Chains A and B, each alone.
Chain A
Amino acid sequence: MRLKCPVCGERDRREFYYVGDAVALARPDPDAGEAAWDDYVHNRDNPAGVTRDLWQHEAGCAAWIVVTRNTVSHEILETALAADVKRAMS
């Protein structure tokens, strides 16, 4: 599996650290309540198909990257800098 770092280009999977579901982009407010935080920290959609997760280009430029990919075929559909994705959300 190769991931395309928006900064460095296409690189081997070994250069990246997998963090998990890109849920981290939508962190609840500190006072959002127990249910919201439980959902954020633990519960996952866990789709068989297209998912969006967060990786870090640990052995490269250290950028945080949102990867849109297919969990069934391992196809990488899109990568974007997490900072840009976050900015577009606000």
Chain B
Amino acid sequence: MRFSALRILKEGLTGNKGWGAHWRDPEPKAEYDAIIIGGGGHGLSTAYYLAKNHGLTNIAVLEKGYIGGGNVGRNTTIVRANYFLNGNSEFYSHSLKLWEGLEEDLNYNVMHSQRGLINLFHSDGQRDAFVRRGNAMVNQGDDAVLLDREGVRKHLPYLDFDNVRFPIYGGLLHPRGGTARHDAVAWGFARGADMRGVDIIQNCEVTGIDIENGAVTGVQTTRGAIKTKKIGMTVAGRSGQVAAMAGMRLPIESHVLQAFVTEGLKPVIDHVISFGMGHFYISQSDKGGLVFGGDLDFYASYASRGNLPMKEHVMEAGMTLMPMIGEAKVLRSWGGIMDMTPDGSPIIDKSHIDGLYVNAGWCYGGFKAVPGSGSVFSHLIATDQHHSEATGFRLDRFRTGVGLMDEEGTGSQHNLH
């Protein structure tokens, strides 16, 4: 089934009876060439690119709940490529390029909206840092525009420019940054993978990883044993537990990150705004809700809900930046479980077990990476070689200290990111 304007017109005139299921609901086979654990954004995009780029179609995505029910459905939907360090920079650039062609590629409306992202700064020192970051982004081939105070005012007239503590000096505009509809991203990749023959198996929890003589031989699941020689784990948030099934300990601690949405409002915030000094960022969804969030609660948690101190902190930061937000009523808040690594950057690597590939540690930045992660991880699984745009995400960088990617410059230590 292909989506097109003509098809929508035809279905509209004939009672919308022709729309079928977007993917099948197959029974698990006894054996696959590769198994992806985790039917979230990263798992589904990995399966999609394995089929599309590498011709591997006898594969399955195993999801313990329903697809898109984890972090891909619990984030704040921001898509950007404004990283500074080598390793991160080229990868997120690669991912953003995939985003830009994604809707045509998938024939699926993921509502990718490049509305522009503005990072605000509030001192001369911060301006210098953002000039440097902007130059790094431009050198990477991406876009960055330095805005002075009046330049920011033109885009965001409603901010409190003369705040006593954080007066706005300017901002770094990333015009190609923006948002996408998170659920549609999961569904689009699921449909694309399914169309190419991938089995998406929901309500199928992996309960064990079979290893013989240092090599993967299959998985145990709540729907029976399945044989395979290659397993890719894409379960960020729960990586520690899945890795434990293979006897591995990862450099990851799971933390809760909260997000909030207000009642639907008329269009008021056209961009994504990042107020780093207040650990606050905000955008407006196409439904009208203001979607915003802050920093981690900063203690290990799998609760999918946070505590009051961070809620208050985020609301205070919002009021500091744009007092008008005080008129909006918060509709709901939720928490996502983040795989936090010591340096704040992800892991995409082989493990010491033959056939077990690790995609983990996405910290609080996994959503924008969804297409890029699937593209490079599928390359690793299919060829056993790192993709050229993802050579830095090595698991051993913590042990060796070589190639740490501490984007925030706070140190490679568990409680600092």
* A interface list, Cβ under 8 A from B: 1, 12-14, 18-21, 34, 38-39, 41-48, 51, 53, 71-74
Q: Are B399 and A46 in contact (CB under 8 A)?
A: no
Closest to B305 in A: A74
Which of the segments B57-65, B249-257, B274-282, B285-293 contacts the partner chain? B249-257
> Is B29 an interface residue when CB atoms closer than 8 A count as contact?
no
Closest to B414 in A: A20
Indicate with 1 or 0, residue by residue over B201-240, a CB within 8 angstroms of chain A CB atoms.
0000000000000000000000000000000000000101
Q: Are B398 and A72 in contact (CB under 8 A)?
A: no
Cα distance, A13 to B303, chains bound together (Å): 16
Q: Are B398 and A71 in contact (CB under 8 A)?
A: no
Interface centre among B241, B398, B414 (most CB of A within 10 A): B414
Cα distance, A20 to B298, chains bound together (Å): 9
CB neighbours of B249 from chain A (8 A) = 39, 43-45
Give the A-B pair count, Cβ closer than 8 A: 69
**Other-chain contact of A21, B238, B250, B253, B302 (Cβ < 8 Å):** B253
> Is B245 an interface residue when CB atoms closer than 8 A count as contact?
no
Given A21-B414, A44-B249, A44-B414: A53 and B300 within 8 A (CB)? yes
Assuming A13-B307, A71-B302, A72-B303, what are 16 further A-B pairs, CB within 8 angstroms? A1-B307, A21-B253, A34-B399, A38-B398, A41-B413, A42-B342, A42-B414, A43-B249, A44-B251, A46-B300, A48-B238, A51-B300, A53-B299, A71-B254, A72-B302, A74-B307
Determine the main DSSP class of A at the interface with B: mixed
Cα distance, A24 to B342, chains bound together (Å): 15
Q: Are B298 and A42 in contact (CB under 8 A)?
A: no
Q: Are B398 and A42 in contact (CB under 8 A)?
A: yes
Indicate with 1 or 0, residue by residue over B393-415, a CB within 8 angstroms of chain A CB atoms.
00000110000000000000111
CB neighbours of B303 from chain A (8 A) = 71-74
Given A20-B415, A72-B303, A74-B303: A44 and B250 within 8 A (CB)? yes
> Is B333 an interface residue when CB atoms closer than 8 A count as contact?
no
**Other-chain contact of A46, B250, B299, B342 (Cβ < 8 Å):** B250
CB distance from B13 to the nearest CB of A (A): 51
Q: Which interface class (under 10, 10 to 19, 20 to 34, 35 or more) fits B? A: 20 to 34
CB neighbours of A34 from chain B (8 A) = 399
Interface centre among A14, A42, A71 (most CB of B within 10 A): A42
**Other-chain contact of A18, B252, B299, B342 (Cβ < 8 Å):** B299
Indicate with 1 or 0, residue by residue over B357-399, a CB within 8 angstroms of chain A CB atoms.
0000000000000000000000000000000000000000011
> Is B86 an interface residue when CB atoms closer than 8 A count as contact?
no
**Other-chain contact of B253, A38, A46, A72 (Cβ < 8 Å):** A46
Query: What 5 A-B pairs come out closest when comparing CB atoms?
Result: A46-B240, A42-B251, A43-B249, A38-B399, A48-B302
CB distance from B397 to the nearest CB of A (A): 10
Q: Are B253 and A44 in contact (CB under 8 A)?
A: yes
CB distance from A45 to the nearest CB of B (A): 7
Q: Are A42 and B300 in contact (CB under 8 A)?
A: no
Cα distance, A43 to B238, chains bound together (Å): 15
Q: Are A44 and B252 in contact (CB under 8 A)?
A: yes
CB neighbours of B301 from chain A (8 A) = 71, 74
CB distance from A22 to the nearest CB of B (A): 11
> Is B101 an interface residue when CB atoms closer than 8 A count as contact?
no
CB neighbours of B415 from chain A (8 A) = 18-20
Cα distance, A72 to B299, chains bound together (Å): 12
> Is B309 an interface residue when CB atoms closer than 8 A count as contact?
yes
A-B contact pairs, 13 of them (CB 8 A): A13-B309, A18-B299, A18-B415, A20-B253, A20-B300, A41-B413, A42-B251, A44-B414, A46-B253, A48-B241, A71-B300, A71-B301, A74-B303
Given A13-B307, A21-B414, A34-B399: A43 and B299 within 8 A (CB)? no
Cα distance, A41 to B300, chains bound together (Å): 16
Q: Are B300 and A43 in contact (CB under 8 A)?
A: no
Given A18-B415, A20-B253, A73-B303: A44 and B309 within 8 A (CB)? no
CB distance from A28 to the nearest CB of B (A): 14
Cα distance, A72 to B304, chains bound together (Å): 8
CB neighbours of A46 from chain B (8 A) = 240-241, 250, 252-254, 300
Closest to A3 in B: B299
CB distance from B175 to the nearest CB of A (A): 38
CB neighbours of A48 from chain B (8 A) = 238, 240-241, 254, 302
CB neighbours of A44 from chain B (8 A) = 240, 249-253, 414
Cα distance, A54 to B200, chains bound together (Å): 41
Within 8 A of A (CB), among B309-340: 309
